[in-house]
Amino acid sequence: MDYFEELSKDYRFKEGFHTCINCGTCTAICPAAEFYKYDPRKIVSIVQTRDNAQIEQLLKSETIWYCGECMSCVTRCPRKNGPGLVIIALRDLSIRLGFFTESEKGRQIYTLSKRLNNNILNKGYCVHPSTFTYHDHPESGPVFEWVLDHKEDVYGRLGARYGQDGPGALRSIPQEDLDELKAIYNATGGTARMELVEKHSRAKAAQMGMTMEEYEEYTFNHCSGGHFNGE
Amino acid sequence: MIYQGKQKIWSEYQKGIPSDGWFYVRSCIRQNFFPASEKFFLGICRDTLGHDIYETKHHTTCGGIAYHSDAIPQETAMTIVARQFALMKEAGYKNLVTSCITSFGNYTEILETWREFPELETRIREKLWEATRREFDKPEYVAHASDLVYKFRNEIAERAAHRLVDVHTGRPLRIVEHIGCHYSKMFPHKGIGGAEYPCVLSGMVESWGGEVIDYPERRHCCGFGFRQYMVKANRGYSLSNTHKKFESMEPFRPDAIITNCPGCPYFLDRWQYVIAEQTGKTYGSNGFGIPVFTYEELAGLILGIDPWDLGLQIHQVAVEPLLDKMGVPYNPGTKYLGLNEKDIMRPGLPSALKCF
């Protein structure tokens, strides 16, 4: 496969990739580059070489997963490139080709896909108090541990409609609307994407000698050394 | 001269925001952490100021967090958004207002992409019909909810019970304004003031009597980073970026922070707690943090709404230092009561960050 040709079909790539002059403005402004071993200038520079072997290395690398998609680079590029958009296209291709399991940060797609899509398809939103646990989010503090222990009371006092019918925050989304979301997933590749991530992740978990529960726990929690500058 | 230059650039990024005819869509994150802010956005704009804003129970996420976490393909995200547009059309509305900055960026990016690649819009229309038998019109106007509060800021000021002024000294309160990245970094012309001099929050602060702090990392991301927060192993990224901002703003001694993004107030609040617990360092006075607010929370305080009705008790950084400066009355005894004044105990206290 010609990876550059494949990337060129992606609308994010069409929007975000023009000739890069290697000025490094994107790297200077990038929140990820300050902490991670990440250099968006180098990534765009590699892509524009059209060197298949180098692009394949990128698709299997840790580095394409360091971006936070804040899009600060889009504002600053003097040539109207969007390195963040190029990153989205690279990640998309990495997932489609199953290369994402080759990197620690790429393997996290399994837990992201499972948790976010389950929330969307079952609750109608990406984040929901019924699946947000203090165990996974100790940074939410003792105040939020208390909120989660008293959801009906706290959210009720604050005017939300937690688990209830009708418009409002945290309402229960009608089943017919959840069914429409599922139909959209089926029609647009969302379901196929979830199944693809699951298939490649299962293969990787087996290779690593883990059950899927262990694999999810590991990908969600484990951070090896070497990702950060100065390490 | 420089000020004139800024004014000139800013004047190029004015938005003619309609007053009425809005279809409202909620935020995945704000419902969890700032549900009262969404309640009072509608309460202030619709009930107090009398503007037409409609919400249907049938709307959902825009999928933006999943999209920017690479968990759904672009066409899935676009078709979810197309469904929201269809609901708006069916309800008879033409202007869309989003509670979420990621959504605002997502809707804007999708409309811009369709404008540039019309064949993609055609394809999404077909996908939406195939999946839901719905059809949509594109909105005439897409705004973020903070755009509307900005538009109505002087009407709010006219009804002010309190101002962003230290009632003990008469000093304007020093406010850090933090704008969500996807408000105007991708499409500067869609934000009030653009990406360089966004005015959406500073305009509120100035209208309500405060003084805006200009500090080096003012435009730096809070560090949400989607996958960089959603996955526990990556949260060092998120924490490090917030830490960078606080170290930069600290010398300017802010009294409070105002934000317009769902995640930013959560991260700027919670990472202060984590920094304090890990290092003992606090950024406010006397062991407190710097209180962080949504624009609706600050508008609510200006209008004299009870702080605990605004949900300020579910922040981790204590808000009382700012309430005391503004002269806002509050009852410590009712802070942690549940529905119908039910006793539901109270949260534990951090060991380093001072709280009540």
CB atoms B39 and A65 under 8 Å? no
Is the pLDDT at B14 greater than 80, yes or no? no
Query: In A, residues 159-188, which contact B (CB 8 Å cutoff)?
Result: 159-160, 165-171, 173-174, 177, 180-181, 183-188
User: Cα–Cα distance between B54 and B46 in angstroms, integer?
Assistant: 9
> What value does the mean pLDDT take over residues A106-134?
98
User: Cα–Cα distance between B328 and A108 in angstroms, integer?
Assistant: 46
The residue type of A132 is F
Looking at B15-24, B37-46, B90-99, B261-270, which range is the least confident one? B15-24
> What value does the mean pLDDT take over residues B28-54?
97
Strand order in the sheet with B53-54: B53-54, B22-25, B95-98, B141-144
Tally the residues of chain A: 231
Tell me if B260 sits within 8 A of B295, measured CB to CB: yes
- Residues linked to residue B25 through DSSP beta bridges, in sequence order: B98
Q: What is the pLDDT of residue B193?
A: 86
CB atoms A71 and B234 under 8 Å? no
What are the structural domain ranges in chain A? 3-97, 107-221
CB atoms A180 and B132 under 8 Å? yes
User: Cα–Cα distance between A4 and A14 in angstroms, integer?
Assistant: 11
Q: pLDDT tens digits for B109-127? A: 999 999 999 999 999 999 9
Q: What angle do CA B223, B228, B232 make, to 5 degrees?
A: 120
Tell me the average pLDDT of chain B: 96
> What value does the mean pLDDT take over residues B43-72?
97
Q: What is the pLDDT of residue B166?
A: 98
Q: What is the pLDDT of residue B3?
A: 60
Is the pLDDT at B13 greater than 90, yes or no? no
Asked if A229 reaches chain B (Cβ–Cβ under 8 Å), the answer is no
CB atoms A184 and B131 under 8 Å? yes
Question: Rg of the Cα trace of chain B?
Answer: 20
Q: Which of B71, B232, B349 comes nearest A116 by C-beta? A: B71
Give the model's confidence band at B4: pLDDT under 50 very low, under 70 low, under 90 confident, else very high: low
Looking at A13-22, A127-136, B189-198, which range is the least confident one? B189-198
Chain B residues with beta carbon closer than 8 angstroms to that of A101: none
Asked if A24 reaches chain B (Cβ–Cβ under 8 Å), the answer is no
CB atoms B131 and A159 under 8 Å? no
> What value does the mean pLDDT take over residues A28-42?
97
Q: Classify each residue of B224-252 as buried b or exposed e, where b means 16 or more C-beta atoms within 10 Å of its C-beta.
A: bbbbbbbbbbbbebbbbbbbbbbeebeee
> What value does the mean pLDDT take over residues A146-163?
98
Chain B residues with beta carbon closer than 8 angstroms to that of A70: 181-182, 185, 221, 224-225
CB atoms A228 and B236 under 8 Å? yes
Looking at per-residue pLDDT, the higher value among B198 and A50 belongs to A50
Give the model's confidence band at B16: pLDDT under 50 very low, under 70 low, under 90 confident, else very high: confident
Is the pLDDT at B160 greater than 70, yes or no? yes
Q: Of B33, B125, B53, which is closest to residue B96 (Cα–Cα)?
A: B53
Q: What is the pLDDT of residue B326?
A: 98
- List for chain A the helix, strand, coil content (%; round to 5): 65, 0, 35
Q: Of A12, A207, A2, which is closest to residue A91 (Cα–Cα)?
A: A12
**Domain over A3-97 is classified CATH 3.90.1150.10:** no
C-alpha distance from B174 to closest chain A C-alpha (Å): 26
Asked if B332 reaches chain A (Cβ–Cβ under 8 Å), the answer is no
Q: Report helix, strand or coil for B257.
A: strand
Provide the pairing of β-strand B292-294 with B256-259. parallel
Tell me the average pLDDT of chain A: 98
- ipTM comes to 0.98
Chain A residues with beta carbon closer than 8 angstroms to that of B128: 184
Give percent of chain B above pLDDT 70: 96
Looking at per-residue pLDDT, the higher value among B10 and B143 belongs to B143
Q: What angle do CA B214, B235, B39 make, to 5 degrees?
A: 65
Is the pLDDT at A190 greater than 50, yes or no? yes
Q: What is the pLDDT of residue B10?
A: 62
Q: What dihedral do alpha carbons B199, B223, B112, B17 form, nearest 10°?
A: -30
> What value does the mean pLDDT take over residues B282-294?
98
E-strand spans in chain A?
A: none
CB atoms A169 and B309 under 8 Å? no
Q: What is the pLDDT of residue B1?
A: 46
Q: Which of B63, B74, B347 comes nearest A11 by C-beta? A: B74
Q: Of B2, B6, B1, B53, which is closest to residue B202 (Cα–Cα)?
A: B6
User: Cα–Cα distance between B215 and B195 in angstroms, integer?
Assistant: 16
CB atoms A88 and B58 under 8 Å? no
> What value does the mean pLDDT take over residues A120-144?
98
Chain A residues with beta carbon closer than 8 angstroms to that of B224: 68, 70
Q: For residue A112, what are the CA distances in angstroms to A12, A126, B53, B111?
A: 21, 10, 34, 26
E-strand spans in B222-266?
A: 256-259
Is the pLDDT at B66 greater than 60, yes or no? yes
Kind plus residue range of the DSSP H or E element containing B175: strand B174-178
Q: What is the pLDDT of residue B102?
A: 98
Asked if B9 reaches chain A (Cβ–Cβ under 8 Å), the answer is no
- In a mutational test of the B interface, the residue from A143, A147, A198 whose CB has the highest number of chain B CBs within 10 Å is A143
